[in-house]
Structure 1
Amino acid sequence: MAVTASAGGVATWPSVPALPDPATETVLASGLLDELSYALGGPFHFLLPAAFDANLLAMRATLKAADVDGFVYFAKKSNKAAVWVERCAAHGAGVDVASLGELREALGHGVRGEDVVVTGPAKARELLELAVRQGALIAVDALDELEALLATETVAALRPARVLLRCLPPTQPHSRFGMTDAELTAALDRCVRAGDAVRMEGFSFHLSGYEVGPRADLAARLVERCLKARALGLAADRISVGGGLPVSYTDAGSWRAFLAEQHGGHFHAGKSFGSGDFYPYHSPVAGAGALAALLSSRPQGHGQPLAGLLKECGVALLVEPGRALLDRAGGSVFRIQGVKERDGYRILTVDGSSLSLSEQWFNSEYLPEPCLLPRSAEESDGSPGIFPASVGAATCLESDLLTWRKVPFPRQPRVGDLLVYPNTAGYQMDSNESPFHELPLPPKVVIDRVERPEGRPAGRPERRPRWRFDRHFLRA
């Protein structure tokens, strides 16, 4: 539940604790992170592929429970680590890519071309050529892109192009992505005239935000479009609803209390954020639960849930989650290298930068609170209390803070302690990272085995987590 910490009865500090995660807690208790920080000499990320596997299997189980034909693609842009694509290949899942480099990465890690969907606007000719050659599904964003696709040598000589036509959402008419109704009509006519050069497999869209109702409504409209496209002789047997499945990082009470109480005094330098500036760090339905809610939602104007409509019309549902597949699949680790007292709170300086917590990209804040790990066991029992602190970067930029909020730490932070930010794998680590100040990029450590005490047979000694570097770090 939410807690409001007090310091001498003067100030209060709303808390946003991360939801419990046994695997992460086992890693924290193992001592491994301190050893890695010492060995690597700087910040790093740790990855938990077992969590990715569990999230993928949960989404597949949701589709099966609803008796819906569907397919899950991992949105590769949400994290650059090679391990996620390796897991997709191992489980026969798909990958959503938007560049030639991402497509090559997916293919190079064993993902079949047929299991790749290529999204993004104004795709380069080289990307289109390789996508068609490998049998990837291509979400066409504009009429000129469709013409460019039909003009590729691969389409002319080898095989038809598999395409989805991307729809401009009526509720987001100013989006730069997708085609209007008139453009979709023209695109369908062009697909018909293209004959065997194109296999038009359906439609796609992506909606900003996380509401279920608008997604269900637009999905139903695209199912109707599929039926009309079939009447023209096109395959049109699937729709993609993109990503947008939320992740719940904290409990409902803590999130409500934070939104109600937060103000400029809770942030360094009085920085202010509107409640709408933050990602919704609590969601009543998340991940596979949000997918279940979408399937059970009844689209406007229809007498049955979306799942029933899809089944009745023989339309498969494609989803492209990123963050939701990476829920609880990793964290980011920094070492405190400076502590400064300032007006009743502390400013901690760590050995990294805000470029590793990419919510700053949206002029926002990553709110789940970092865990403070003492530099030694002897100092773990320091003076109890509430010690509010913001977290700054080891750069010369005034605005480079990992955490503007004055986090209410339960123990006094000291130089040498570790700060572990939880659940950062989805759209946090690596989206913005650059070697600013010639600081190296934080490496990624894959933890393949996390053994909890309750899962260990009696009499067998505890084994430390087994780890390795992600392939990208080894290549660098």
Structure 2
Amino acid sequence: MSNLPTLTPITSPWMHELMAEKSLLDKLLSKYGSPINIHHADSMEENYKSYQTVFEEFGLKYKIFFARKANKTKGVVHKAQELGMGIDTASLQEYTQCLEMGIAPEDLIVTAAVKNTKLVEKAVANGSVLILDNVDECELVQQVAAEQNRKARIGFRLSGFYCNEKKLYSRFGFDVLDIHKFIIENFVESKRFDLLEYKGLHFHLNGYSIEERSMALNQCLSFSQLLSNNGLKTEFIDIGGGILMNYLKYETEWDHFNEQLRNAVTGKVDPITFGNQGLGFERLDDNLYGELKAYPFWNPVTKGDFLREILSYKNPVEESLASLASNLNIELRMEPGRSLLDQVGITIAKVAFRKQDSLGDWLIGLEMNMTQMLSGSSDFLLDPFVLYQQEEEEIQPVDVFFTGAYCLERDLLLKRKITLPRLPEVGDIVVFVNTAGYMMHFFESSAHLFPLATNLIWNRTTEDGKIELAHFQNDANL
């Protein structure tokens, strides 16, 4: 057995309460199948308050929208609504479902990458703000507004900001250098888009740089002043999402993992991933190239502190962005997804088999597939928990890979090799924690006609403290 790096996740008491109830989890798996996603929506409140506190600390007008695409359950949408958040929707289905749940149209914003006619028709009819990315969308919204004989409320998504003399690329939005001319020609000097009622600005940035977000916000605030000189009032500026959170207990473990991954790829130590995958790193002629393509699971500056640094950023005339926004009477908005779902969900699955492959590695097959715990990250870098059916005192450590049910060689639930205290048995339960944000649903598919995982909402409030099946509600029935 090798000395593999560990990555110990931050967990919440509710997770350990459930993991202590192995017989209950067995019953849930028997009733709903494997895997199951369990949500504790009340955990969203602390995350929301981390942002709310900072906005109020600066005395700003603000609105926080939950990025619905991060998790498809209605339970977390209900909780976001209860806390006073708006909802950022990215499809006709998301938008329609929110309306059917009773969410007010003014609390919905449409930021979809592709806005088809039906989505635009519904958003215009209900008066929700549409964030527009290109001229074709402007023309579509103008046409729909004319057909409905009403104004359409819109914002512009901007891109191409400058940071340290480098132009930041995004495939979304109008280029910041071109949009002023476009607006003047089509909104001020002509009536081409006279049914589009301008409300604000929006931006989307790849990555998680505080400096880049600060520079983008500063350039949006400056642009809003330019628009004001032309008679267009900017009511809001939306900084989007990508606000960092922290998954891990120990920075030292994160540093050690990164070091060992590099060492493994360059052949200095035994592989720590399946097939010695570099997760973004690769070896060419004994040199290491690339960078880690995973989410930065360890972060010292997160959530509200991350936001505070953006708002505290001082522009070239030494005015903080918070002060400038306040002086311009502009509402600042944001659309976090992952960070609002911190500590909100776990995914549990049943062990189907154990085997050693031709290389001698132990493969633990679970009744789930890789799409049921998959995001844009190259791997989910948290140690899982194994709930053994049989309690044994003897520790017999074993290194394993967790594999899935798709007929693909690459169906690895975790590319990392994991050290367990002993080999699991068939029927044991594996728990992946903190999976609610982007991991459960973003790429989930039903190849082989496998059903999608059941999503359960758990309310911990019980009179006698006993946890029963009846306390778990199928989100599909909400």
- Structure 1 and Structure 2 fold alike (TM over 0.5): yes
Q: 2:348 aligns with which of 333, 348, 371?
A: 333
Alpha-carbon contact 1:55-1:324 (below 8 Å) kept: yes
Which residue of 2 is the match for residue 182 of structure 1? 178
Deviates more, 1:335-344 or 1:433-442: 335-344
Alpha-carbon contact 2:246-2:298 (below 8 Å) kept: yes
For residues 425-444 of structure 1, the aligned pairs below 5 Å read 425-444=436-455
SS of alignment partner, residue 89 of structure 1? helix
SS of alignment partner, residue 151 of structure 1? helix
For residues 69-80 of structure 1, the aligned pairs below 5 Å read 69-80=61-72
TM-score by length of 1: 0.89
Residues 154, 426 of structure 1: alpha-carbon distance in 2 compared, 3 angstrom cutoff: farther
Q: CA deviation at 1:208?
A: 0.5
Aligned length: 450
Q: CA deviation at 1:344?
A: 5.5
Which residue of 1 is the match for residue 284 of structure 2? none
CA distance in 2, matches of 1:43, 1:104: 28
Report Cα offsets for 1:351-382 as digits up to 9, x if no partner.
110010113x55x111111110112xxx2334
Residues 70, 268 of structure 1: alpha-carbon distance in 2 compared, 3 angstrom cutoff: same
Q: CA deviation at 1:147?
A: 2.1
Structure 2 unpaired stretches of 5+? 266-270, 282-290
Q: 2:227 aligns with which of 229, 232, 248?
A: 229
CA distance in 1, matches of 2:184, 2:40: 43
CA distance in 1, matches of 2:145, 2:179: 25
Report Cα offsets for 1:266-295 as digits up to 9, x if no partner.
112332322521110011112223222222
Which residue of 2 is the match for residue 469 of structure 1? 473
Q: 2:83 aligns with which of 84, 91, 99?
A: 91
Which residue of 1 is the match for residue 187 of structure 2? 191
Alpha-carbon contact 1:143-1:183 (below 8 Å) kept: no
Residues 384, 122 of structure 1: alpha-carbon distance in 2 compared, 3 angstrom cutoff: closer
Alpha-carbon contact 1:246-1:283 (below 8 Å) kept: yes
Q: CA deviation at 1:174?
A: 4.3
Residues 185, 244 of structure 1: alpha-carbon distance in 2 compared, 3 angstrom cutoff: same
CA distance in 1, matches of 2:25, 2:391: 15
Alignment of 1:287 onto 2:310: no
Amino acid at match of 1:257: H
Q: CA deviation at 1:425?
A: 0.5
Alpha-carbon contact 2:141-2:196 (below 8 Å) kept: no
Residues 317, 126 of structure 1: alpha-carbon distance in 2 compared, 3 angstrom cutoff: same
Amino acid at match of 2:465: E
CA distance in 1, matches of 2:472, 2:460: 10
Alpha-carbon contact 2:243-2:303 (below 8 Å) kept: yes
Deviates more, 1:251-260 or 1:149-158: 149-158
Report Cα offsets for 1:215-264 as digits up to 9, x if no partner.
01110110111111112221212111110011211131211111111225
Q: CA deviation at 1:76?
A: 0.9
SS of alignment partner, residue 404 of structure 1? coil
Alignment of 1:314 onto 2:318: no
SS of alignment partner, residue 402 of structure 1? coil
Report Cα offsets for 1:192-218 as digits up to 9, x if no partner.
344873321221111001110110111
Q: CA deviation at 1:135?
A: 1.5
Q: 1:365 aligns with which of 361, 373, 379?
A: 379
Alpha-carbon contact 1:249-1:281 (below 8 Å) kept: yes
Alpha-carbon contact 2:71-2:437 (below 8 Å) kept: yes
For residues 441-460 of structure 1, the aligned pairs below 5 Å read 441-449=452-460
Q: CA deviation at 1:55?
A: 1.4
Q: 2:363 aligns with which of 347, 352, 355?
A: 347
SS of alignment partner, residue 167 of structure 1? strand
TM-score by length of 2: 0.89
SS of alignment partner, residue 15 of structure 1? coil
CA distance in 2, matches of 1:302, 1:368: 43
Q: CA deviation at 1:404?
A: 1.9
Amino acid at match of 1:164: G
Alpha-carbon contact 1:135-1:161 (below 8 Å) kept: yes
CA distance in 1, matches of 2:213, 2:411: 36
Which residue of 2 is the match for residue 455 of structure 1? none
Alpha-carbon contact 2:370-2:412 (below 8 Å) kept: yes
Residues 471, 188 of structure 1: alpha-carbon distance in 2 compared, 3 angstrom cutoff: farther
For residues 240-279 of structure 1, the aligned pairs below 5 Å read 240-250=238-248, 251-262=250-261, 263-264=264-265, 265-273=271-279, 274=281, 275-279=291-295
CA distance in 2, matches of 1:109, 1:188: 39
Alpha-carbon contact 1:387-1:408 (below 8 Å) kept: yes
Alpha-carbon contact 1:247-1:286 (below 8 Å) kept: yes
SS of alignment partner, residue 413 of structure 1? coil
SS of alignment partner, residue 145 of structure 1? helix
Which residue of 2 is the match for residue 17 of structure 1? 8
SS of alignment partner, residue 415 of structure 2? strand
Alpha-carbon contact 1:117-1:136 (below 8 Å) kept: yes
Q: 2:314 aligns with which of 273, 287, 298?
A: 298
Amino acid at match of 2:3: T
Residues 184, 428 of structure 1: alpha-carbon distance in 2 compared, 3 angstrom cutoff: farther
Alignment of 1:215 onto 2:207: no
Structure 1 unpaired stretches of 5+? 1-6, 452-459
SS of alignment partner, residue 435 of structure 2? coil
CA distance in 2, matches of 1:126, 1:396: 37
Q: 2:19 aligns with which of 28, 41, 55?
A: 28
SS of alignment partner, residue 174 of structure 2? coil
CA distance in 2, matches of 1:198, 1:44: 44
Deviates more, 1:178-187 or 1:111-120: 178-187
